[in-house]
Every structure is written in structure tokens, then in C-alpha cells.
Amino acid sequence: MKVIICGAGQVGFNIARHLASEQHDVTVIDRSPELIAKIQSSLDVQALVGYASHPDLLEQAGAADADMIIAVTLFDEVNMVACQVAHSLFGVPKKIARVRAQNYLASMWQDLFSRDHMPIDVIISPEIEVAQAAIRRLEVPGAFDMVSFCDGKVRAVGVRLSEDCPVVDTPLRQLTELFPDLNIIVTSIIRGGKLIIPSSDDQLLVGDNIYFVSEDSHVERALSVFGSDEEEARRIIIVGGGNVGAFIAEKLINNDSKIQVKIIELDVEKAKAIAKNIPKAIVLNGDALDVDIQKEANVKAAETIIAVTNDDKVNILSSLLAKQAGCRRAITLINNHTFGPMTYSVGIDAFVDPRQTTVSSILQHMRRGRIRSLQNLAGGAAEVLEAVALETSPLVGKPLRDVRLPDGIIIGAIVHDGEVIVPRGGTIIKPDDIVVIFTRLDMIKKVEDLFSVRLEYF
């Protein structure tokens, strides 16, 4: 596939890195010589300095025979115009644009991005993606990550194992013996910053971050088995009243009238606007790093604090202050991905990486085969995918013990006629079954091949 990426920031760089590792033909455009130099020295891609919306530069990048353009520069208008030029002048089949300003995305203006006006096939809104990621982490108390698949029937859940975990030092094969009716599969272990796709002989250790895939109704019990069961949050404090904080507050209040939401916002005008727009939320104007403001918000009685300002230091420190005061759980937005792994050691329970959420949204529209959805996990080292098994797939029609999946790929769940099946050695995948697969990033092409249409299908 030939792909043009407009923008060489964190998101553009990471998409280019993913696609280059899969041997796609990638060209990156950015007006910053420094960012382009970084791309050229780090990745096996073409890189051009200039404005991504200029027709001559897109022509130089090979737009005439490109399969896709992904516009993720810092400027919404450049992203939109780049897609328009790619469509009108070069006929690029698929156009993806990141649009931050919510003004463009209001439902009353939804025709703006239609084929007759500004033909963009996929709009990515980082703020909405981040807000939804934070809300997902609230849905499963005790987990640091959660993604739903198969219309909510299956969940991939991330849990950190503490000394209280009753199955520490237990080989995975014994979990089935100890809990025969627990329908889960441990799909990965992150230990010392390294991703492990486990075998049945691998043990769980204190400090491990693990992902398991489970039928939705078994998640609560699984969390209890791993020593991470917590009560659902009813009293929530949000630090930061920007688009992300406001979106989270509105969603929580609309979904459950019993939830009490307080918002701490530093800017007085923004605080007034939030109080007007979200009357059911309590809005406090002040600095979230001020102990008196946190006392006024009564953080010691709150179950969860969600810190989503634009400043990582404010997010981290306000979360730690709240935890120190007695708040049970902290969910923190981290823009600098190098801070992410450090957060667990200082007491933050879950973090949201906007780069990872945006990259996941974009990659979902690029995967080959019958892949319905995916999520980038473990700092970009892995993906969990939901795909439809075709009649010609090598997975279909024989027991899984005979399939011989490559190392680095593990099947977490199968949905057959609406029923969730936990895969065992004797399980047989049938045509049109939905399969949830966890894979290391370097194995993604093999996963795509498992779900691609072959000639004999026709």
C-alpha cells in the first residue's frame, strides 16, 4: 500500500513507524526540517519538507498513485485542505484527517465532510478519542485499561498485579484447574517494559501488567481473582475543563444521574462557561495543585480523579496530591509517552496516551482482511483485533491445537452465533465466527493474512 502521511509529529511519526515496519510504501511531509530529519534518520520512509496541502508537494510525494492520505499536521485547516487537494487533483481513494476543533464536528455541520463538499472518509478527533479512553477505564474499576469488542460481549482488560494478588507465582495452565468456570485467557504480560505473549508454563509475578480477554459477564470475577476488584466510582473529580474534561463530564452525567462530578478549572472564563453548559456539574475555579482547592473539592471522599489538562506535570502532581489526600484512584492524561511507564511506580492507577489512542483509530482503517476493529496496546508494542473468519482462512475447520499459530499471536475469544467461546485446544473456528486476537506488532501482517480473502473464495 502506498500511503502519504502529512505531519511528522508524534502521531505522524508513529503511524509511519508502524507502516514502515510492515513494508508499506510511505512518504511523510512536514514543514519542519528538524522533524523530517528525525524521520529520515529513524525510519525507512521517504520524507519531504514543505506544506502538506500544496499540490506540487503532494505530486512530488506520489499522490497520483497513492492509496491513502493521512493528514495529522498541527493545523485542522491544513489537514482538511490536503485531503481536498488529494481528492480533487489526484483521486486518492481514501482520506483520513485529524480535526481537533469541535466547531467543525457539530452534528449540524455533518454534511461538510461529504463527498460533494470536503471529501474526507474518516475524521479523527483526538479529544473525543482521549475522553472515551478515560471513560473506558472508569467502566472497569481496578483495571488500568479496557477495550470492548464484539458489540460489548468481549473485553480486553489490563490489570496490574500487586502483592495481594492470590494467583501470583501460579503457572497460567493452573488457572484453568483452579477456576474451571472462569472464561478468560491471559493474552500478554508486560514485565520490566518487555511484552511477553505467554505460554501455559509462564507464571504471573508481582508488578506484572497483564492483559486478559474475557466474556463481559466474567470480568468482575476475573478482577477479583487477580486481586483488583474495586467499587464503581460515584464521586468523580475532573481536573481540566477543556474539550476533553467537558466531554467526560457530560457523558458521565448523561449516562448515570447518580454520579456526582466536580470540575477544577484554572481559567475563570472557561470555568464560567463550563458551569453554564454543564449545570449538573460542580465547577471550582482554581489551581488543582492548590491543597485548599483540593480540600474544597473534597478529594478525600472521591473514588476517582481524572486529570486531563494540557500540562503533564499538572496532571501527574494533581493526581498524586489527590491520592495522598485519600482519593482512591487516579486516571491521568500523559502527553509525553516517556512518562507513561513511570506513572504506576508513583501511585497513578491508569494513564491515557493521546498518541496511542489516535494511532489506534487511524490504523483501524488500514488493516487488510476482514478486520472489524482494533486497539493499539502496551505502548504500541501490541494490537488486539476483532476479525471475521472466512471459509478459506487456515484457522477454520480444524482444532486449534492443530493450527500452529506463530509465536507472538494468541486467540483470546471466539464469538459463534452470538455466544462467546473461550478457545481451548479442541475448539474449532467456523466460517463467519468473530475472532479476538492479541498479537505483537511485528506479527500483524501474519494476522492480516489469516483473515484476508483468497482467490479460491470466489
The segment(s) of the chain belonging to CATH 3.30.70.1450 are 363-457
**pTM, two decimal places:** 0.82
The segment(s) of the chain belonging to CATH 3.40.50.720 are 2-124, 235-357
Contacts of the segment 47-52: beta carbons below 8 A, 24+ positions apart: 47/8, 51/78, 52/6, 52/7, 52/78, 52/79, 52/82
Fold classified for 2-124 = Rossmann fold (3.40.50)
pLDDT tens-digit series, residues 87-134: 999 999 999 999 988 888 877 777 777 777 788 888 988 888 889 889
CB 442 within 8 A of CB 21: yes
pLDDT (mean) for 149-166:
90
The CATH number given to 235-357 is 3.40.50.720
The values of phi and psi at residue 133, to 5°, are -65, -40
pLDDT-based confidence at residue 275 (cuts at 50, 70, 90):
very high
**Model pLDDT, residue 376:** 80
**Model pLDDT, residue 450:** 83
As a three-state string, the secondary structure of the chain is CEEEEECCCHHHHHHHHHHHHCCCEEEEEECCHHHHHHHHHHCCCEEEECCCCCHHHHHHCCHHHCCEEEECCCCHHHHHHHHHHHHHHHCCCEEEEECCCHHHHCHHHHHHHCCCCCCCCEEECHHHHHHHHHHHHHHCCCCCEEEEEHHHCEEEEEEECCCCCCCCCCEHHHHHHHCCCCCEEEEEEEECCEEECCCCCCECCCCCEEEEEEEHHHHHHHHHHCCCCCCCCCEEEEECCCHHHHHHHHHHHHHCCCCEEEEEECCHHHHHHHHHHCCCCEEEECCCCCHHHHHHCCHHHCCEEEECCCCHHHHHHHHHHHHHHCCCEEEEECCCCCCHHHHHHHCCCEEECHHHHHHHHHHCCCCCCCEEEEEEEHHHCEEEEEEECCCCCCCECCEHHHCCCCCCEEEEEEEECCEEECCCCCCEECCCCEEEEEEEHHHHHHHHHHCCCCHHHC
The chain-wide mean pLDDT, for the chain, equals: 88
pLDDT (mean) for 400-412:
89
Type of residue at 52: A
pLDDT at position 269 over 50: yes
Architecture label for domain 363-457: 2-Layer Sandwich (3.30)
pLDDT (mean) for 191-219:
89
pLDDT at position 442 over 60: yes
